[in-house]
Amino acid sequence: MSDPMLNITGLSKTFPGRKIGPVIQVLDNINLTQNEGEFLAIMGPSGCGKSTLLNIVAGFDQADSGLCQMHGKTIEGAGPDRGVVFQEYALFPWMTVERNVEFAMQAAGKWNASAPARIDAILSRIGLDAFRDAFPKHLSGGMRQRLAIGRILAIDSPMMLMDEPFGALDAITRGLLQADLVALWQETRKSILFITHSVDEALFLAERVVVMTPRPGRIVLDLKIDLPRPRDITSPAFNQAKREIIDVITPALRLVEPSA
């Protein structure tokens, strides 16, 4: 087997406490790998450090200790090899749909003679071709998130980092985008690192689910999800995997120290 695309070893992270108080341990000795083309979900309760971990992989933050490497090279900052989709969309409100995608390609140095045709194909793929001249404020939440994903497709990042991208959407829209994301991953086989606090979402989407404890975040379960697609959330196999995760999460939640 080839070396993993992402390799995290002994990674820990702290944040300063209030005023002169003690530091807050956010991540503690994280060891994690992700293979090329793998769909990996990281889940855990709010405040467990999963978004902090994604920010370190994205290059937006640095660990206090340990290694975070892509293809054997230490991550020292953001780069076009890692596209990020946030819950808050992070679109340019003064740019049209088409211009948002165009700018992403230009900023990543991916603009060339074939770029206009690529934009057309991407807008068609994400269902926004008829809205290419619209501004983000005229789009629904689901359409905005499709556009955010389209920008990542435009720069052709081999890895997609997604921080609870569907968390602010209604249940119906979230379900549709989850199905779209699975279809997109099956088409492109990009590596996806997906952050969520939902057991159902993690099991519906991912090939592997990593479960973290409440702060300080530690990995307590790394579960291979060997379920056929499309996945049936009502099936006995799906619910057996769900029980396995919940059986790990529930005792960990009881061990959380009360706030001072």
CA-CA-CA-CA dihedral for 77, 1, 203, 11, to nearest 10:
-40
**Does a structural domain hold residue 124?**
no
Residues of the domain holding 66: 1-81+193-256
**Does a structural domain hold residue 114?**
no
Residue among 249, 160, 251 nearest 197 (CA): 249
**Does a structural domain hold residue 55?**
yes
Query: Who wins on pLDDT, 253 or 220?
Result: 220
**Does a structural domain hold residue 135?**
no
CATH number, domain of 75, equals 3.40.50.300
**Does a structural domain hold residue 202?**
yes
- Structural domains counted in the chain: 1
* 189-243 tens-digit pLDDT: 999 999 998 999 999 999 999 999 988 899 999 999 999 999 999 999 999 999 9
pTM (whole model) above 0.85: yes
**Does a structural domain hold residue 105?**
no
**Does a structural domain hold residue 73?**
yes
DSSP E strand boundaries for 16-91: 24-34, 39-43, 65-70, 73-74, 82-86
**Does a structural domain hold residue 148?**
no
* 31-69 tens-digit pLDDT: 999 999 999 999 988 888 999 999 999 999 999 999 999
